[in-house]
Amino acid sequence: MLEELEQIERQALSTLETVQDEEALQLWKVTYLGRSSPLMKTFDQLGGLPKEERPATGRRANQVKRALEAAWETKGENLRQTSIQRTLQSERLDVTLPGRPVARGGLHPTTLTLRRIYRIFSDMGFQVYRSREVESDEYNFELLNIPAHHPARDMWDTFYTTDPGVSLRPHTSPGQIHVMRQYAPEPIRVILPGMCYRYEQISARKEIQFNQVEGLAVGKDLTMGDLKGTLIDFARRMFSPEVRTRFRASHFPFTEPSAEMDIECFLCGGAGCRVCQGSGWLEILGCGMVHPLVLRNGGYDPEKSMGFAFGIGPERITMLRHHIEDIRYFWMNDMRFLEQF
């Protein structure tokens, strides 16, 4: 039995030297250390040996087993190191080559337009004032000369919350009351940018959420001429020094008189095209002189103070400047669209 163990050890170690890969190493392990291997069978045969031979044979069998296991582990480590070196040689990298450029993000087109609007009005002396997006019915409508059940409320398809009298603001005009009550009776000149929400059918021209920039100036002796001069200057800075503008009479409950401002279509030069629907003009904002009741609700005496207000849609201006025909592009997160800016 001892001679048989010696022969098993020599044969196993000799065969192990010829192993060149992991698959052959696993086969070797099954052959010489597996349950059905000759070495493992010797342990089953110990009970049939004379009692005086059993200790020596058992010790030798364990020695052979430990020797083969150690040789198997060493061979496995050598094969792994060889494989690593082979991979490093065949798949090595040239670290002197330039790396791939990291893709850089950019500002959203609406953000670019908003920043341009901020800069223009900042140069005119207007300050940015932020107001909340969730408003009470009082600020959304009542204080803006739109009482309950007034037909003018149909102009704003409002998102109401489960709390009575609380809704998402459909326009930034409630911010006028906040800023007037904070600074009255001092003169003010502010713009109030923010997100608005309306329950409307989504289409190429309408969305349920959109940005708006409200403008408000209150002081002594302000006139419609001051409003027109401010907005004409804004249009020239935003679009072109040669841009033509016009004002059309309109109606808003919180301004009197009210108007809408158009610019000459820069695609057709006023001749009429599909974008301007043949009129030669493009609407960009609504405006007017602040209604005396709204001034009073804001803390000003309409006998001593006058004010003008306007509301600008940044998405609409972005669409006009870049010839974008579908407002839904602004909210689709389509990189093909956004990377153009």
- Right CATH for 109-338 from 3.40.190.10, 3.40.50.800, 3.30.930.10, 3.40.50.1980: 3.30.930.10
pLDDT in tens, 308-324: 999 999 998 998 888 88
Is the backbone peptide bond immediately before 253 cis, with ω within 30 degrees of 0?
no
- CA atoms of 172 and 286, how far apart (whole Å): 13
CB 264 within 8 A of CB 243: yes
| The pLDDT value given to residue 157 | 83
Candidates 321, 326, 294, 314; CA nearest to 140 is 294
Helix/strand/coil for 216: strand
- CA atoms of 75 and 86, how far apart (whole Å): 16
Write phi, then psi, for 282 (nearest 5 degrees): -125, 125
pLDDT > 80? residue 49: no
127-128 and 188-197 strand pairing:
parallel
pLDDT > 80? residue 70: yes
pLDDT > 80? residue 51: no
| The pLDDT value given to residue 1 | 66
Rounded to 10 degrees, the C-alpha dihedral 257/173/231/236 comes to: -150
245-252 and 209-219 strand pairing:
unpaired
The C-alpha angle with vertex 178 and arms to 174 and 183, in degrees rounded to 5, equals: 145
Write phi, then psi, for 284 (nearest 5 degrees): -125, -20
- CA atoms of 336 and 44, how far apart (whole Å): 73
**How confident is the model over 184-197, as a mean pLDDT?**
95
Every domain of the chain and the residues it spans: 2-90, 109-338
Helix/strand/coil for 316: helix
Give 160's DSSP letter: B
- CA atoms of 174 and 151, how far apart (whole Å): 18
**How confident is the model over 139-148, as a mean pLDDT?**
92
pLDDT in tens, 192-236: 999 999 988 888 878 899 999 999 999 999 999 999 999 999 999
Candidates 57, 67, 69, 58; CA nearest to 25 is 69
Helix/strand/coil for 233: helix
- CA atoms of 125 and 109, how far apart (whole Å): 25
Q: Tokens 């669409």, residue?
A: 319
The C-alpha angle with vertex 326 and arms to 320 and 331, in degrees rounded to 5, equals: 105
| The pLDDT value given to residue 170 | 92
pLDDT > 90? residue 173: yes
CB 63 within 8 A of CB 44: no
| 275 confidence band (pLDDT: 50, 70, 90) | low
Alpha helices, DSSP H, located in 184-287:
224-238
Residue 112: how many other CB atoms lie within 10 Å? 16
- CA atoms of 173 and 175, how far apart (whole Å): 5
Name 312's bridge partners. 213, 285
Does the model's pTM come out above 0.85?
A: no
CB 84 within 8 A of CB 197: no
The length of the chain, given as a count of residues? 341
CB 212 within 8 A of CB 333: no
